[in-house]
């Protein structure tokens, strides 16, 4: 595995808003892509709020079957603590879910694919790419 998809990227994929994202995902082998369990939780919660809940859940299941699932494990917990400590010390914390996603990626040396660079770019030693950008 090489990449970890963030929630914002998955939503862009579902909504088919970015040709660049769709092309890049199509060109990247499924074996190089993954989705963190916290991203799954965010997407599942979002689906529950939608009037077309069942359709959203089917789309999500397709994505979940396609890519490896990355759990939040003990290694990610250690990275979480170090990242949170650092960001709080410099007065630039990020949201709890993004922190868990960043820790999951950094602990495995994965590149986070996101539109939300504002948060993820604050995390030291985390590689971040936006596949929707020009």
Q: Checking DSSP bridges between strand 111-113 and strand 68-70, what pairing results, if any?
A: unpaired
Residue 120 lies in a domain: yes
Of the candidates 91, 96, 98, the residue with the CA atom closest to the CA atom of residue 119: 98
Domain count of the chain? Answer: 1
Which pLDDT band holds residue 5 (cuts at 50, 70, 90)? Answer: very high
Q: What is the pTM of this model?
A: 0.93
> What per-residue string of b and e applies to 73-85 under the rule 16 or more CB within 10 Å gives b?
eeebeebbebbbe
The confidence score (pLDDT) of residue 56 equals 87
At residue 103, φ and ψ (nearest 5 deg) are -65, -40
Residue 114 lies in a domain: yes
> CA 80, 83, 89, 91 torsion: positive or negative?
negative
The pLDDT tens digits of the residues spanning 39-80 come to: 999 999 999 998 998 888 988 999 999 999 999 999 999 999
Residue 51 lies in a domain: yes
How far apart are the C-alpha atoms of 59 and 11, rounded to whole Å? 10
Report which DSSP code applies to 5: E
Q: What is the mean pLDDT of the chain?
A: 95
How far apart are the C-alpha atoms of 113 and 28, rounded to whole Å? 12
Residue 121 lies in a domain: yes
As a whole-number percent, the residues of the chain with pLDDT over 70 amount to: 99
- pLDDT(134) > 70: no
Which domain range does residue 14 map to?
A: 3-129
Work out the average pLDDT over 12-19: 91
Residue 134 lies in a domain: no
Place of tokens 């998809």: 5
Work out the average pLDDT over 27-36: 97
- pLDDT(23) > 80: yes
Is-contact 112 83, C-beta < 8 A?
Answer: no
Q: What is the CATH number of the domain that holds 96?
A: 3.40.50.1010
Strands (E), the chain: 3-5, 33-36, 68-70, 111-113, 128-129
């Amino acid at each position: 595995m090489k990449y970890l998809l963030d929630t914002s990227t998955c939503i862009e994929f579902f909504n088919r808003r970015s040709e660049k994202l769709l092309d890049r995902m199509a060109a990247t082998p499924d074996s190089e892509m993954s989705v963190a369990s916290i991203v799954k939780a965010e997407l599942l919660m979002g689906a529950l709020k939608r009037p077309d809940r069942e359709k959203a859940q089917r789309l999500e299941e397709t994505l979940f079957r396609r890519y490896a699932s990355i759990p939040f494990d003990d290694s990610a917990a250690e990275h979480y603590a170090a990242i949170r400590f650092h960001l709080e010390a410099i007065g630039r914390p990020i949201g709890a879910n993004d922190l868990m996603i960043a820790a999951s990626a950094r602990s495995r040396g994965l590149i986070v694919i996101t539109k939300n660079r504002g948060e993820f770019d604050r995390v030291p030693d985390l590689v971040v790419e936006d596949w929707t950008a020009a």
